[in-house]
Structure 1
């Protein structure tokens, strides 16, 4: 690989990022660390696609031009358009390997982690707070983000989520947020798990047998739910009496009660005890043969290699049993589902759709291709970054856009990428790039583990939530809990809790390992509150509310038009002389050069001769204001808002 030839594009700071993608010689221990392996795997996929073309009588599509590939690669890999400098340099460089080099650079950049974080937050419904719950899920959010940053293999990440137990603030066990965020709704959690990890839609079986003949019975669902039954906070019963007394007495709505709430809700409430009992009582309205209403049944898996627990012998590790079944005992289902999710993420459409409804490989339109990508996912150790690297290296990814519908019902014909609207996060991150330049150079959002009472930090520099949680969960009796609570009250009252210049509403305050940004910060979507509030640009453009799986939408609405014409875009970009895209015009010598630069900066391509004529007329007529009008027109164009 001649990847270092791209150093002039991205600056000297790229060297460190490229270390992970350069060949490691004879010392490589994983196949995906070898660039030759990645290229060979990509070739195998292209050969399968070519075979499909032959069977379907389809011609081989043309490879797209550099400009389209550049924009596509950036948006798919790191979720934003290239900056002016990146686009200009790539388009002007003469190197036959530059596409391959660009992919390697993008996947080694922090932008990849940012973009994948948005995907993980949507899929796992990661929220800073859950409506109706007086706690925040900062440690769980941080756990998911860290797992993505560290390329935790998908099977390991899934196992840790499903088998999690312990302290919700401990970085090692904060995956318990997967369950505690759904506390009070354990059956919904089980249904979501089956949909997310195995592509099995069992949510209707909570209430009735499947009326469509898919053999999903209500009993199957409850036997599966038995694996996760028994989700109780760690040792919260030690504080229950104290909390109830404060809640009913004169201390209610006082600062002392707020401190009690801190311990009761934000420490105990984020913890998860036990490991799953493996048995569960059927609901009192159970109405099918084979079991009685209210009957105690043992855990049993509905397909794959059977795993079961006797209802008479409850366990304390059933969640772990479930995690092992999902990741290793369901045949190819687990690997096929995640491979197909990644395929849709890169190619724009799943090998089969919808991606959260598993189809047995032999029943799909492309059993050979499904088997290939499933085996590849396993062979690569469920490394999602490396798997996407292979897909991005394929000729299939480079085919020109195909505006026509697929010739295969329920699947793709792989005959060029289908046009799709950008996600809310892609639009936002691209606008931030136009406004402020490369957004990945800004500090990351840090892990906020400050102790807060009524929204204000206390004991700053003395104790963190991580430390507090560890101490509280180590208490072994009601007496110890009461003594600790009284000591904590004294400690906080003796300090100055109202001080600390870094209040909860500050736009940016230093955190451990980064910054804390509020909704108005000009940073990537992955750094903002999750999800953004209803009045935010991201919400307007369809960001998921993260209450249900994959709840984002890319449907247009009038609010989006108003935001582009009169709101955020006009304020932060079009009418902002300090915006990065205007700064990039400073070294342009002529009006033609400036217009060309704006096109490349916004659309990643130069204007056509006809477009140049139109824009020159605009500049001659309106002078400097003409450039503002050009920016507004290009940003509001379908070409900017869609991915080709």
Structure 2
């Protein structure tokens, strides 16, 4: 039967999970623009090879490209059906079509969500914080699904103010994540968005850089003065219900909703623009307790007065980061995306900015930086161009770099998959395309003592809007008394025992659900496969690890692989054997399903010998051997 082109398959039910993602029009939607930009990048790389007198690597085969493109673009291996469709097509433009297909699946935004969670340390909860990060988590995921431009994304985080339960202002979770630690939050901001490591300057002048402690506090002044709504208006009520004899009453539980889930999840104050130097300040350029005005340390200078409080410091900070730092802001995100696609940044570490002229490929880095600006910070469009380069398609090379810089593009270096890529690939083998499953949805019901109440009457967004609009203590007390009466009248739980909210089903997934890593608790529990394989605990920026350990081997041998793949005859990968008329064809299909390539002649012989010896039990043995192989766990 003649195979259909990928472009047709993407519109049919043959390969499910395709959903055009939203977002504004992009230059990367123009195929000719993408082609020219990709060629330009390849020209810079080829020119560098010539200057180093190194041969340009060959383009890799279809099977390697297939697996590489899936892993990089959507974070999982192809299903057996997707792999067979691509490998059986004899069409010149199929690689371009595959990239288009992948970037328009739900898998793309899922994989980008994992990246954003790791970068921003997004968690479901935090010790000492009773409120929920659910709205913030949902905001970040929606931003990735909508392909929000990176400068808009950055600005929304840094200038965020308002109610966390409102989808439009849920980005305040960026500051709530570091509540009580504004200086740490600022250090993370400069590291993530500007590639500037300023954390040392919180306590002293940086001995390894140019940042002085005074510089850091001038920058911190932009964000100083944030508070949690009008929480002070509820202080008396909160003190009353916290008495020992009231902690177990419904009065306390309802007050807890307002104190923690409403006022505790709001951000008020746009940034005063001035701050006091700490009591232990030790340098001659300032005195302990001295009030100083905001000032940016590099780029185009932005200042604020030290005489009066303002309310737009964070807006000014966001504008400065995204549009007044010269090449630094676009260079850092361009280099992050280059590392994401190519496996390594043009400069390393990727969170320590290097000017283009000081990299070993100045012309390339200059072009990538300008390309990011020309694309209006469209991360999907930028990655689309990189995925269409010949540089991305270079043959894998297990040998170490031939140059001192460590990055000569001489074939893609081998790298172990991230924990999320491993998990998402395993569930693809176990249950098929994971992007067909419903996404986790946000639960914005009002919960008292762990049970939803007043369902159909109000929700956290409405409740928060009403409470945060109150101006006096008496108004807050009246609001609290009415809420308490409504909860008592409706009963604890009441209609809220249902999982329906005004007709919409709330989709939740437990830790063992066979769904994408982006849908599971963040971070995963410590005994989960994701954690064992190095998922970040979300305590530090990009805290994931690819280091091997014994626990990983035991997890594969005795855990998910054995239970859900090897010994599970209903696993999706075994369905790929249906209709196979010979042992050779069954072996071939298992190789394509797991390693995304057909077996070599020697491998076929070994596996046929296993079938002769073990009969039907040979196939689970083959599955076990392939899944636990280095080839499955590494990206070429």
TM-score by shorter chain over 0.5: yes
In the TM superposition, what is the alpha-carbon distance from 1:614 to its structure 2 partner? 1.0
Structure 2: where are the runs of 5+ without partners?
none
Matched, 1:634 2:626: yes
Distance 1:272 1:490, change over 3 A: same
- 1:556 aligned residue (548, 551, 561): 548
CA distance, structure 2, for counterparts of residue 298 and residue 501 of structure 1: 50
Distance 1:145 1:18, change over 3 A: closer
Matched, 1:463 2:496: no
Match of 1:6 in 2: 6
Distance 1:641 1:464, change over 3 A: same
CA distance, structure 2, for counterparts of residue 362 and residue 414 of structure 1: 19
- 2:359 aligned residue (364, 373, 380): 364
CA distance, structure 2, for counterparts of residue 540 and residue 20 of structure 1: 32
Match of 1:606 in 2: 598
- 1:80 aligned residue (76, 79, 102): 76
Alpha-carbon contact 1:18-1:105 (below 8 Å) kept: no
CA distance, structure 2, for counterparts of residue 285 and residue 341 of structure 1: 37
- 2:373 aligned residue (374, 378, 382): 378
Match of 1:262 in 2: 257
User: Could you state the TM-score of these two structures normalised by the residue count of structure 1?
Assistant: 0.95
Match of 1:25 in 2: none
Alpha-carbon contact 1:445-1:515 (below 8 Å) kept: yes
In the TM superposition, what is the alpha-carbon distance from 1:407 to its structure 2 partner? 3.1
Matched, 1:347 2:342: yes
Superposed, 1:82-231 pairs within 5 Å as: 82-212=78-208, 214-231=209-226
CA distance, structure 2, for counterparts of residue 204 and residue 629 of structure 1: 53
Match of 2:565 in 1: 573
CA distance, structure 2, for counterparts of residue 150 and residue 575 of structure 1: 39
In the TM superposition, what is the alpha-carbon distance from 1:5 to its structure 2 partner? 2.2
Distance 1:335 1:514, change over 3 A: farther
Alpha-carbon contact 1:446-1:511 (below 8 Å) kept: no
CA distance, structure 1, for counterparts of residue 559 and residue 201 of structure 2: 45
CA distance, structure 1, for counterparts of residue 606 and residue 627 of structure 2: 16
Match of 1:533 in 2: 525
Report the 3-state secondary structure (helix = DSSP H, G, I; strand = E; otherwise coil) of the residue aligned with 1:517. Answer: coil
In the TM superposition, what is the alpha-carbon distance from 1:556 to its structure 2 partner? 0.8
CA distance, structure 2, for counterparts of residue 15 and residue 541 of structure 1: 29
Report the 3-state secondary structure (helix = DSSP H, G, I; strand = E; otherwise coil) of the residue aligned with 2:386. Answer: helix
Distance 1:526 1:513, change over 3 A: farther
In the TM superposition, what is the alpha-carbon distance from 1:119 to its structure 2 partner? 0.3
In the TM superposition, what is the alpha-carbon distance from 1:569 to its structure 2 partner? 1.3
Alpha-carbon contact 1:510-1:516 (below 8 Å) kept: no
Structure 1: where are the runs of 5+ without partners?
22-27
Distance 1:266 1:408, change over 3 A: farther
Alpha-carbon contact 1:447-1:512 (below 8 Å) kept: no
- 1:289 aligned residue (276, 284, 288): 284
CA distance, structure 1, for counterparts of residue 446 and residue 598 of structure 2: 52
Larger mean Cα displacement after TM superposition, 95-104 or 359-368 = 359-368
Match of 2:295 in 1: 300
Matched, 1:312 2:307: yes
CA distance, structure 1, for counterparts of residue 18 and residue 140 of structure 2: 22
CA distance, structure 2, for counterparts of residue 183 and residue 50 of structure 1: 48
Report the 3-state secondary structure (helix = DSSP H, G, I; strand = E; otherwise coil) of the residue aligned with 2:447. Answer: strand
CA distance, structure 1, for counterparts of residue 310 and residue 33 of structure 2: 44
CA distance, structure 2, for counterparts of residue 15 and residue 33 of structure 1: 22
CA distance, structure 2, for counterparts of residue 47 and residue 159 of structure 1: 34
Distance 1:590 1:501, change over 3 A: farther
Distance 1:179 1:390, change over 3 A: same
Alpha-carbon contact 2:334-2:368 (below 8 Å) kept: yes
Distance 1:485 1:20, change over 3 A: closer
Report the 3-state secondary structure (helix = DSSP H, G, I; strand = E; otherwise coil) of the residue aligned with 2:508. Answer: strand
In the TM superposition, what is the alpha-carbon distance from 1:481 to its structure 2 partner? 1.0
In the TM superposition, what is the alpha-carbon distance from 1:498 to its structure 2 partner? 3.8
- 1:45 aligned residue (41, 59, 66): 41
Distance 1:426 1:435, change over 3 A: same
Distance 1:276 1:74, change over 3 A: same
Alpha-carbon contact 1:353-1:411 (below 8 Å) kept: no
Distance 1:565 1:187, change over 3 A: same
Distance 1:5 1:575, change over 3 A: same
Matched, 1:479 2:471: no
Report the 3-state secondary structure (helix = DSSP H, G, I; strand = E; otherwise coil) of the residue aligned with 2:307. Answer: coil
- 1:438 aligned residue (403, 424, 433): 433
CA distance, structure 2, for counterparts of residue 513 and residue 491 of structure 1: 24
Matched, 1:328 2:320: no
CA distance, structure 2, for counterparts of residue 281 and residue 392 of structure 1: 49
In the TM superposition, what is the alpha-carbon distance from 1:502 to its structure 2 partner? 6.1
Report the 3-state secondary structure (helix = DSSP H, G, I; strand = E; otherwise coil) of the residue aligned with 1:300. Answer: coil
In the TM superposition, what is the alpha-carbon distance from 1:406 to its structure 2 partner? 2.4
CA distance, structure 2, for counterparts of residue 4 and residue 247 of structure 1: 67
In the TM superposition, what is the alpha-carbon distance from 1:410 to its structure 2 partner? 4.2
Larger mean Cα displacement after TM superposition, 227-236 or 447-456 = 447-456
Report the 3-state secondary structure (helix = DSSP H, G, I; strand = E; otherwise coil) of the residue aligned with 1:535. Answer: coil
Report the 3-state secondary structure (helix = DSSP H, G, I; strand = E; otherwise coil) of the residue aligned with 2:507. Answer: strand
CA distance, structure 2, for counterparts of residue 481 and residue 95 of structure 1: 68
Query: What is the CA deviation profile of residues 141-185 of structure 1, one whole-angstrom value per residue up to 9, with x for unaligned ones?
Result: 111111111111000100110011111111111110000111100
Larger mean Cα displacement after TM superposition, 456-465 or 283-292 = 456-465
In the TM superposition, what is the alpha-carbon distance from 1:514 to its structure 2 partner? 5.9
Report the 3-state secondary structure (helix = DSSP H, G, I; strand = E; otherwise coil) of the residue aligned with 1:457. Answer: strand
Report the 3-state secondary structure (helix = DSSP H, G, I; strand = E; otherwise coil) of the residue aligned with 2:139. Answer: helix
Distance 1:406 1:85, change over 3 A: same
Match of 1:24 in 2: none
